Amino acid sequence: MAFTIQVGAFSTTERASRYADQLAAYGLDTYYFIDTDGLCKVRFDRFETKDGARQRALELQSRGVIDAFYIVRPGPAGRNADARENLQDGLVQTARRFIGTPYRWGGESARSGFDCSGLTMTVYRLNGLELPRNSRSQFRAGRPVTRHDLQRGDLVFFATGSRGRVSHVGIYSGQGKFIHAPRKGKTIRTASLSSGYFNTRYVGARRYL
């Protein structure tokens, strides 16, 4: 869980991308996304406390790096059952907004595309949760969940290579389906756990809430 700094809301991804690139030149960990209101919002960095985020934003503002800013609170994971359910819904809704985005190895943004773990990391980050970057590290970081107990927002893992190790990940969206970034030449889409390909390559699931 982490606080982040939001510094812009744009009508087009091109403008958001340019601004994110400008901030990245200052060494900031920037990203942008299309929010539910249709605006492309730019955020950067992560902080354990609201005060830490505010002090950093004020320092950047005094240097002329940013103008107006907004401190984004982390998601309400773990506080109560309703909060967890809201966060689960938020994870799935965020993932669905990226459906149709091209796959790109190493990608972590709507502009350039996503690989499988870049998608899961970004979706969780946009909901105030931090995940490791690659699928194997994500698999090691979460709590094991049986297939029978899967809940929306859990991550599902697969061994798609010849070595039988975790090499692919998606976000469980309910009713036996998951959202993932398949491979080069494909776009982010929904798939079924029961399909022949994924059923035979399923390794397990992890929960982080």
Identify the active-site residue in 5, 116, 121, 181: 116
Identify the active-site residue in 46, 125, 152, 168: 168
Q: What are phi and psi of 114, to 5 degrees?
A: -130, 150
| Half-sphere CA count of 171, side-chain side, radius 13 A | 32
Identify the active-site residue in 125, 177, 180, 206: 180
Residue 44 and residue 3: Cα distance in Å, rounded? 10
Question: Does 148 participate in catalysis according to the annotation?
Answer: no
Question: Does 40 participate in catalysis according to the annotation?
Answer: no
Question: Does 168 participate in catalysis according to the annotation?
Answer: yes
* C-alpha torsion 117→151→202→176, nearest 10: -110
**Which positions are catalytic?**
116, 168, 180
